[in-house]
Chain A
Amino acid sequence: MKSLFLATIMALLPMTTLAQNASSAKVAELAAHRVDRLVTTGKIDAGFAKRLERIDVSAASPAPAAFKVLVSQTKPLQGLPIQVEMVFDVAGKPLSFKAIPGGVAGADPGYDGGKNAVTLFENSLHQIIDSANDANIAPFANGLTSVILTKVNQDGMIMSKAQVKSSATPSKLNVYLMLNGAFMSKDIEK
């Protein structure tokens, strides 16, 4: 009986731990929310709201740092884009941020459907997080390394396309949204 009790406890412990750990897709989503927060409070360049183009997620150390996130605006004609580096702990709580010096503003992609680039990132990432139990989506939810947002024309409709790369698969996941933020479709590019 004692061993059964211990086994039950041991089986529950990892579940508790997992529930507190953020997936890399969740960290990317929290980074997008963080960008919105920092823009709203005037702590980073306001251009991120309209021109956020890329979120890169990688591992960080030492603890409590667990994730390093680099957020980038659209590329300028010359020079580096405006970038901010953020560090998150294992649960996705923000620990620090710093602007990378020397960045130059790029073009405004013109997301004119009522939702800015940051919101389109958030909504695209929600689609991945909400489908994390789908075996096809799980590698992207857990192994996300980058998300790039672009404006595309699909069959005559202007949409945003968030392309996700993952360390767990060579495939790419594309999430399409209407420019008002509504989900359209997603597909996996082999």
Chain B
Amino acid sequence: MLIWSLRSLVIVLVASTMSACNFSRLKDDGSSNESFIPLSTQEKATVMNYSYINDRILKPKCLTCHDSGQEVDLSTYENIFSARDSIHRTVFVENSMPKKGLLTDNEKRLLWHWINLGSPKESDLGTIVPPADILPTFESIDRQILQNKCVVCHSPGESGKRIPLDKESLLNSPLELVIPGNADDSGLVIAVERTDEKRMPLAEEGYGPLSDKEKEAIRTWIVNGAKD
């Protein structure tokens, strides 16, 4: 009996460790030796364009050495487009770029997807699909809001790593993110409803505010006791 218990304990511990490792940002779908978590519909429609990639990644991390007049000039869309295979090779295969300043995991992910999509100048707005009605349940909020717009940053290794958004964490955080029955004092509601620079999702990360329907679903879920 004791041996069985000990074995069970070891199995649980190993399973827990493996489960934790499953939070890895990288997933291997077989299409590349380094393939990343897929883009959400929102990301395809909003950030897979030259303007966003240039402002968020290329300018701060590449143009310090590759501005106009440099031997390798990445200052225009045309030059980037011509050099996209080389960028892919040096960043993702040889890991030799950028030399100054590392790309975050999310920056690498977005750059990788953008190059894989053919380095489009504009986002493909055709990827926007009318959202289904959002219900005031955690399953619906998680699937349609958190997974789509929040976990990109609120994941291990990313800027929001300190605040995981699974249901248990939301309910038990010392930051009181969800206070069942009290939406007004719940950090999650305050974060998405505030209008200053700390509004979530962050404007400085390129995200717009949640829609009124999305905010209302979160508020109603909490008012109803945050049970479902």
- Interface positions, chain A 118-161, Cβ under 8 Å from B, are 119, 126
Q: Is there an interface contact between A37 and B174, defined as CB atoms closer than 8 Å? A: no
Which of chain A's residues have a CB closer than 8 A to the CB of B3? 1
Interface size for chain A: under 10, 10 to 19, 20 to 34, or 35 or more residues?
20 to 34
* A172 beta carbon closer than 8 Å to chain B: no
Interface segment out of the listed B80-88, B91-99, B190-198, B219-227 = B190-198
B174's contact among A9, A41, A92, A119, by CB below 8 Å, is which? A92
Contact with A along B137-166 (1 / 0, CB 8 A): 000000000000000000000000010000
- Counting chain A CB atoms within 10 Å of each CB, which of B5, B174, B187, B190 scores highest? B174
Point out the residues of chain A lying under 8 angstroms from B175, CB to CB.
30, 33
- Asked whether any CB of chain A lies closer than 8 Å to the CB of B6, the reply is yes
Contacts known (A92-B174, A93-B174); A37 close to B187, Cβ less than 8 A = yes
For the complex, is B2 an interface residue (Cβ under 8 Å from A)?
A: yes
Q: Which residue from B6, B162, B197 sits with its C-beta under 8 Å from A126?
A: B162
Q: Mark B residues whose CB is within 8 Å of A.
A: 2-3, 5-6, 9, 162, 174-176, 184-185, 187, 190, 194, 196-198
Interface residues of chain A, those whose CB is within 8 Å of chain B, are: 1-2, 4-5, 8-9, 22, 30, 33, 36-37, 40-41, 88, 91-94, 114-115, 119, 126
Q: What are some 10 contacts across the A-B interface (CB < 8 A)?
A: A1-B3, A1-B6, A8-B9, A37-B187, A37-B190, A88-B174, A91-B174, A93-B174, A115-B197, A126-B162
